[in-house]
Amino acid sequence: MTEQESISTIVSLARKRANQLSALSNEKRNQLLASISKKIKNSRNEIAVANQKDIDSASDLVAKGELSQVLVNRLNLSDDKIDQLSSYLESVSKLDDPIGKIQYEVTLDDGLELSRVSCPIGVLAIIFESRPEVVIQVSALCLKSGNAVILKGGSEAFHSNRVLYSIISSVLKEFGLEGAVGLIETRDDVSDLLSYDQEIDLIIPRGSNSFVKYIQDNTRIPVLGHSSGICHLFIHSQCDRKKAVDITLDAKLDYPSACNAVETLLIDRDVQDDIFQEILMALQNKSVKLLGCSDTIGRADSLNIKLQAVSDEDWSTEYGDLVLSIKIVDSLVEAIDHINQYGSHHTDSIITEDQKSADRFFERVDSACVFHNASTRFSDGFVFGLGAEVGISTNKTHARGPVGLEGLIIYKYLLKGKGHIKAPYSGKNAKPFLHAIP
């Protein structure tokens, strides 16, 4: 957003562009992505200059101890990343066209043909943090699916976001679609945006739990997202020792700050001592801080493993770090109940060789992703073969779990008649509908 643009201008332009985008062919949309890809590669210097400004500011904050080096690294738009972004755009353009797909067809009566066809949602608002390349990734997904989008990136990537946005804008301008991607830059702008529930069709906040709740509390716009990733592993009594150990380590250590990392380990009381011991010691050897329920502490103690006590709040805490809470449960049912009560309905896995228990876990665990003998870390749109990921949703409507392009589309019903009126199909001697599926 430049100084001259108001939120209302951005929103109404996006609305207008959404209408144009809905009529754009897949070929045109792909040309758009190809042009952005090309322009990014040709703008390396410009991008580097802007990116360096953000890195310098962030480094100052690191020096003052106000920011972690990890966040600074995330800001970096290296030459490699530019190339990756460019190939990302190409891969998105190769995805199946998600719009114009006939989902349902029925002949209501002679000459009265109904179809349900996929179409873009319209205007999306997507709010994300730190990594500036998200500007490109999200714009690509929205344009591919025929949606206009208003973006708000992290303030620490201010200059990088702006330069990437200006690249997209200049290409959109060439296509007569300037404003199909909008950018806003402050928290106040976000607050303003929330009142445009007539113009914005879906908002996807990617951020902290409290931030998502703030959005939910302050808008009528439907919200898609996940507030937290409190994932569980349940080690069943009939588990395989190696699977239990390997998966526990992977789910905690592969990427601890990811939302699909495990936060709570549930262990059946009947799991053998040697397995129990091996898991706990392996975790401690990898510097994972273990917090246990009193039963866990007692049992660990008898095996010479010292644990700290877990608090009630821990069961619903996303550590995002090398911390794991551990609870001993008496049964599969207790494990399922714990997961459904304290989890965030994101991803939960059971380790067992007993098929019946796995089936019951699949049936009863109320989560977007339910796994058997696999690490929670597999919960990801690319891994799932969705081609691209908009985010992971713990919503139970519209789109759940890893959300690909499909989460950015909806459908409309199209009815073709020959002058048909409704009256003859009502009341006494009503004409019946054919409801013939072609």
- Name residues contacting a copy of itself, limited to 169-198 (CB under 8 A): 197
Residues 6+ apart with CB under 8 A from 115: 102, 104, 105, 106, 413, 414
Q: Which is nearer to a copy of itself, 204 or 291 (CB)?
A: 204
CA distance 333 to 330: 8
Q: What are phi and psi of 167, to 5 degrees?
A: -65, -50
User: Could you tell me the smallest distance in angstroms from the CB atom of residue 287 to a copy of itself?
Assistant: 17
User: Could you tell me the smallest distance in angstroms from the CB atom of residue 373 to a copy of itself?
Assistant: 4
Q: Is 322 in the site for a copy of itself (CB under 8 A)?
A: no
Binding range to a copy of itself, per CB under 8 A, among 15-23, 50-58, 265-273, 295-303? 15-23
Among the listed residues 101, 173, 213, 356, the single contact to a copy of itself using CB under 8 A: 213
Among the listed residues 208, 274, 413, 430, the single contact to a copy of itself using CB under 8 A: 413
Query: CA-CA-CA-CA torsion for 291, 293, 297, 298, nearest 10 degrees?
Result: 180
Among the listed residues 43, 62, 207, 222, the single contact to a copy of itself using CB under 8 A: 222
CA distance 420 to 315: 60
The residue among 122, 144, 104 whose CA lies nearest residue 414 is 104
Q: Is 80 in the site for a copy of itself (CB under 8 A)?
A: no
Secondary element (H or E) of residue 275: helix 273-285
Q: Is 340 in the site for a copy of itself (CB under 8 A)?
A: yes
Q: Which is nearer to a copy of itself, 61 or 108 (CB)?
A: 108
Among the listed residues 158, 175, 211, 425, the single contact to a copy of itself using CB under 8 A: 425
User: Could you tell me the smallest distance in angstroms from the CB atom of residue 7 to a copy of itself?
Assistant: 19
Q: Is 108 in the site for a copy of itself (CB under 8 A)?
A: yes
Among the listed residues 290, 400, 403, 405, the single contact to a copy of itself using CB under 8 A: 400
Q: Is 395 in the site for a copy of itself (CB under 8 A)?
A: yes
Helix axes 158-174, 26-41, angle to 10 degrees: 130
DSSP 133-161: THHHHHHHHHHHTT-EEEEE--GGGHHHH
Q: What are phi and psi of 238, to 5 degrees?
A: -100, 40
Kindly determine how many residues on this chain lie close enough to bind a copy of itself according to the rule CB under 8 A.
77
Largest CA distance in the chain: 83
User: Could you tell me the smallest distance in angstroms from the CB atom of residue 205 to a copy of itself?
Assistant: 12
User: Could you tell me the smallest distance in angstroms from the CB atom of residue 172 to a copy of itself?
Assistant: 19
Sign of the torsion formed by the C-alpha atoms of 125, 126, 132 and 138: negative
Among the listed residues 421, 429, 432, 438, the single contact to a copy of itself using CB under 8 A: 421
CA distance 181 to 164: 11
The residue among 209, 248, 201, 241 whose CA lies nearest residue 225 is 209
Bridge partners, 329 (sequence order): 268
Q: Is 411 in the site for a copy of itself (CB under 8 A)?
A: yes
Q: Is 384 in the site for a copy of itself (CB under 8 A)?
A: yes
Cβ neighbours around 32 below 10 Å, total: 25
DSSP 8-state assignment for residue 422: S
User: Could you tell me the smallest distance in angstroms from the CB atom of residue 72 to a copy of itself?
Assistant: 21
Binding mask 359-378 for a copy of itself (x = CB under 8 A): -x-xxx-xxxxxxxxxx-xx
User: Which residues inside 246-305 make contact with a copy of itself, applying CB under 8 A?
Assistant: 246-247, 249-251, 254
User: Could you tell me the smallest distance in angstroms from the CB atom of residue 83 to a copy of itself?
Assistant: 16
Among the listed residues 122, 153, 182, 292, the single contact to a copy of itself using CB under 8 A: 122
Helix axes 273-285, 241-253, angle to 10 degrees: 30
Among the listed residues 61, 71, 112, 322, the single contact to a copy of itself using CB under 8 A: 112
The residue among 185, 184, 225, 188 whose CA lies nearest residue 203 is 225
User: Could you tell me the smallest distance in angstroms from the CB atom of residue 137 to a copy of itself?
Assistant: 19
